[in-house]
Amino acid sequence: AQRVTQPEKLLSVFKGAPVELKCNYSYSGSPELFWYVQYSRQRLQLLLRHISRESIKGFTADLNKGETSFHLKKPFAQEEDSAMYYCALNTNAGKSTFGDGTTLTVKP
Amino acid sequence: DGGITQSPKYLFRKEGQNVTLSCEQNLNHDAMYWYRQDPGQGLRLIYYSQIVNDFQKGDIAEGYSVSREKKESFPLTVTSAQKNPTAFYLCASTSGFSTDTQYFGPGTRLTVL
């Protein structure tokens, strides 16, 4: 069975500081990994997915199969980045597993 | 914010009653999902369906049932067998490939009185 672990429930940084949200997974097959974000009073939405290898709103995430990790990083956090972040894993069979989420607060 | 809708936004039910939550999408997506979100526990998969007339149990299916008679609709019934049904329920859809993004509805908050 697959599993996604986000070790930090809460993360607080100052504006302009680097931020890293951790995500570790366990899955015997080849995973598809995603980061979703939920801003206050908005729907849960995609931030980025590993297959696209793109940077969205300054965030990047690299899949490290050796360490089974997919950490989300941003070099300079902004106040508007404050939100709830979820790491998710999809299998080829269509099943989706989410981590428990990390609440990021960026202080001015 | 069209595309995927859930109704009602808030739902109250007495213990022992079944209740059905609606989820509709007009994105022409093949796959649909139901999640339960509890404080501090993230999203837990209840049921998912990759195609019409077929669905699979997720991680916490006990006390829930679904149907997928139409591509655009995936209703969730919370039965009286569900021990702790008070929660926030999210529906999502995707085109069906494992690499594809899930699009989420606004959610339904169910409270059992």
| DSSP string computed for B25-86 | E-S--SEEEEEEE-TTS-EEEEEEEEETTEEEE-TT-TTEEE--SBTTB--EEE-TT-S---
A59 vs B81, more confident: A59
Q: Which of A34, A96, A65 is nearest to B49 (CA)?
A: A96
d(Cα B91, Cα B101) in Å, to the nearest integer? 13
Residues B72-90, mean pLDDT to the nearest whole number? 94
Q: Is A98–B33 a contact, with Cβ atoms under 8 angstroms apart?
A: no
**Confidence (pLDDT) at B76:** 97
Q: Is B102–A96 a contact, with Cβ atoms under 8 angstroms apart?
A: yes
Q: Is A95–B56 a contact, with Cβ atoms under 8 angstroms apart?
A: yes
Best residue in A36, A38, A43 for a mutation probing chain B (most B CBs within 10 Å): A43
> Which residue in chain A is spatially nearest to B90 when comparing CA positions?
A44
Residues of B in contact with A88 (CB under 8 A): 102
- Is B8 in the A-facing interface, judged by CB distances under 8 Å? no
Q: Is A46–B58 a contact, with Cβ atoms under 8 angstroms apart?
A: no
Please, which residues have CB within 8 angstroms of residue B63's CB and are 6 or more apart in sequence? B78, B79, B81, B82, B83, B85
> Which residue in chain B is spatially nearest to A84 when comparing CA positions?
B42
Tell me how close the Cα of B80 comes to any Cα of chain A, in angstroms. Answer: 26
CB A69 within 8 A of CB A77: no
Residues B43-70, mean pLDDT to the nearest whole number? 95
Work out the end-to-end distance of chain B between its first and last CA atoms, rounded to an integer number of angstroms: 31
pLDDT tens track for A39-58: 999 999 999 998 887 888 99
**Confidence (pLDDT) at B83:** 87
Is the pLDDT at A72 greater than 60? The verdict is yes
pLDDT tens track for A2-41: 999 999 999 999 999 999 999 999 998 888 999 999 999 9
Q: Is B105–A34 a contact, with Cβ atoms under 8 angstroms apart?
A: no
Is the pLDDT at A93 greater than 90? The verdict is no
Q: Is A43–B31 a contact, with Cβ atoms under 8 angstroms apart?
A: no
What mean pLDDT, rounded, does chain B reach? Answer: 93
pLDDT tens track for B57-67: 999 999 999 99
**Confidence (pLDDT) at A31:** 87
**Confidence (pLDDT) at B2:** 60
Is the pLDDT at B1 greater than 60? The verdict is no
